[in-house]
Structure 1
Amino acid sequence: MRYNVVIMTTMKEIAERTGVSVSTVSLVLNDRDAGRVKPEIAQRVRAEAKASGYKPNPLARSLRTSRTRIIGFVSDEIATTPYAGRLILGAQDAARAMGYMLLTVNTNGDSKLEEREIATLLQYGVDGFMYARMYDQHTTVPESLLKLPTVLLDGIDDTGRVPYIVPDEESIGYDATRHLIDAGCRRIAYIGASDRVYVADLGRRAGYRRALAEANIDYDEALDIGVTFNRPALDAVDAMFDRAHPDGIFCFNDARAWYVYQCAAKRGLTIGRDISVVGVDNHRVFAETLAPLLTTVDLPHYEMGYWGTLKLVSMIEGHAPKPEAMTPAGGRSPLPPLDASPAQIHCTLISKESVAAKG
């Protein structure tokens, strides 16, 4: 039997090859050389480390710094929402870029299970936590998380104890309605959510009304409805068509846009010509399969996960990340500053075929 033996390059060997001290090599390879090591020496050390395939020893580093470089990611709905994947991917990409590892747990909304999972993550020696909610909502962060630096994702902390990041909900409503106005629509409806009180619904409705007011379009309550799901929702949208005769519709999410497509087809109306529609979510099932393709506002789950990790690492390490880390490759919307309070992301509208062209 043959074994592959990996020979690890050490800092001492890099120091010998570059003619500097081990402490200098340590400063450079731990990105603490600014103002301490001459740039040309730092460049030489990094070049040698790269050429020799140097990899830091995480165990040795954790013993030296009392940090494991592990982040705990706690959520109650990872397994039940289509958006969790993007949120986790953003967090993982940022953690990888910062030299951290992500441990993810799902609690299924069980508070007892949540406490056990948090206790387990603490036993693993995590340096901090991200607490994720899958829908923008007012949230009470568990006390057990507050033992370490914690960031809340897609939720609002009313206590002011932890930083949080959410989509800019009012701008979503404003941008979507403004897009319909710019396309020539004047009888613009809003189809909101009535199954529960969403922070997002309140914000998007406020943005909808603000856009109407700025365009000198009178608000008509007959065009503003809230629906649930399935047949009751379809019936409510159907009645709104007959009662209010909209020429443009902004929907709380892409799923509710499906009811609009159904009602338009029933009346022989063509989406994107006779009536314009904008959704929210950029949900693959709806935004990529409805015909014509649905204009939608992309929710920044990837960006929230990415920003949350950068914010958390800055709290753990006591300094901001390098500027280049603030432009994630996988995102569509720009990140807010790390010191923003609250942190809100202005979401990107993706124009497709469901909105009529001007004129």
Structure 2
Amino acid sequence: MVTMKEIAKQAGVSVSTVSLVLNNRDEGRVKSEIAANVRDIAAELGYKSNPLASSLRTGRTHILGFISEDVATTPYAGGIILGAQRAAQQLGYMLIVVSTDGRDSEAKEIAALQRYGTDGFLYAKMSNRLTGVPAALKDTPLVLVDATDEKGIVPSVEPDEFHIGYDATRRLINAGCQRIAYIGAADPIIAEQGRLEGYRAALAEAGRAFDARLVANVSNNEPALEAVSALFDAERPDGFFCFNDARAWYVYECAARRGLEVGRDISVVGVDNHLVFADTLTPQLTTVELPHFEMGYWSVAKLVSIIENSPLDDVEWPETTAPLPLLNGPMPAKIRCTLIEKESVRS
């Protein structure tokens, strides 16, 4: 009996590509000349489709598991999951998404997916952090999403935090801001460290000394507003790079209380392109968009490349806001984010 693997070998493509073509799911996903060649070879070899037999023979179900403790309950989940689903569909896989509320729940969800014969897993976190890998996933194909393996073994994808800080600060420098403050996060997570480093690097490149008095690391609510207010009065910044769009709200509030106009008297850049803050603040907030769709898409492509031991060179990649890194590049894979120009930086 002719197998997809035999067709893939003769056509010089991946098994995923053959699966898409022979299941008539190749339109917009596989180059037309490649699809025609696969069909010709399959017909020549006398291939007959039998999904159940194929699954038993290869030991693959073409099911991927997406495990998250935080992501699926946040405003950013949609982008990550959409990207992951898009890639899974393109590559001939089905994605099952589960959200957990802790280690006990996580272990049960992983065990349930493994009983279905899941071929591999995506393990997602929120806000880019170091994480341990659950013991149940250590012997299965695995990719981390918006997280980094604390042991540096498991492949992962994350935003390029350094360039978030660098690009945002360069935008403020180019706008003519002389005293640029950083409203950071109180938690020393990877994202905070990288964005602060980028902020400092952009200042140094412009010949400006780093001034710790222009940095306020805050959490949220009234203490955060008080810290930003104190920075306004003591240092009088004319530019603000904020760790995220939520922290930019404190800057807007403090400016309004002092009769200052954002986009004229001061300039502000946030991070997230949050659906609420970035679009409802007035003037609208210039912000760095985190690559949620891109991380979801890349993570599935990387996982399939591991499962099939294939570089997936014959697959057509989608157009994305941020460029996708190479599947075989250095780990963790970093996606350089896009700065979205709106109205909060003066011309």
- TM, length-normalised to structure 1: 0.85
Bigger radius of gyration among the two: 1
Question: How far apart are 1:134 and its partner, in Å?
Answer: 1.4
2:210 to 216, 219, 222: 219
Give the secondary structure class of the aligned counterpart of 2:327.
coil
Name 2:107's counterpart in structure 1.
115
Q: Deviation digits for residues 197-252 of structure 1, max 9, x if unmatched?
A: 22101110110011001101122211111111111111111111000001100000
Give the secondary structure class of the aligned counterpart of 2:87.
helix
> Aligned residues, how many?
325
1:125 to 111, 117, 127: 117
Query: Is the aligned partner of 1:350 residue 2:340?
Result: yes
Mapping of 1:186-265 within 5 angstroms? Answer: 186-194=178-186, 196-265=187-256
- RCO comparison, higher one (Cα < 8 Å, 6+): 2
RMSD over aligned CA atoms reads 2.5
Cα distance change on mapping 1:239 and 1:57 into 2, 3 Å: farther
Query: Is the aligned partner of 1:64 residue 2:57?
Result: yes
Give the secondary structure class of the aligned counterpart of 1:314.
helix
| Contact 1:186–1:217 (Cα < 8 Å) also in 2 | no
Give the secondary structure class of the aligned counterpart of 1:250.
strand
Question: How far apart are 1:322 and its partner, in Å?
Answer: 3.1
Name 1:3's counterpart in structure 2.
none
Name 2:11's counterpart in structure 1.
34
Name 1:276's counterpart in structure 2.
267
Question: How far apart are 1:43 and its partner, in Å?
Answer: 2.7
Query: Is the aligned partner of 1:82 residue 2:75?
Result: yes
Q: Unpaired segments of 5 or more residues in structure 1? A: 1-21
Question: How far apart are 1:59 and its partner, in Å?
Answer: 2.7
Q: Percent identity?
A: 58
1:156 to 148, 151, 162: 148
| Contact 1:58–1:68 (Cα < 8 Å) also in 2 | no
| Contact 1:306–1:328 (Cα < 8 Å) also in 2 | no
Cα distance change on mapping 1:296 and 1:45 into 2, 3 Å: closer
Q: Unpaired segments of 5 or more residues in structure 2? A: 14-31
- TM, length-normalised to structure 2: 0.87
Name 1:98's counterpart in structure 2.
91
Question: How far apart are 1:48 and its partner, in Å?
Answer: 12
Q: Deviation digits for residues 286-343 of structure 1, max 9, x if unmatched?
A: 1111111100001111111111101100110011113544x324x3101111112221
Query: Distance in 2 between the 1:265 and 1:254 partners?
Result: 17
Q: Which amino acid aligns with 1:347?
A: C
Give the secondary structure class of the aligned counterpart of 1:154.
strand
Give the secondary structure class of the aligned counterpart of 1:136.
strand
2:324 to 335, 346, 354: 335
Q: Which amino acid aligns with 1:88?
A: I
Name 1:313's counterpart in structure 2.
304
Question: How far apart are 1:135 and its partner, in Å?
Answer: 1.5
2:295 to 286, 295, 304: 304
Cα distance change on mapping 1:135 and 1:46 into 2, 3 Å: same
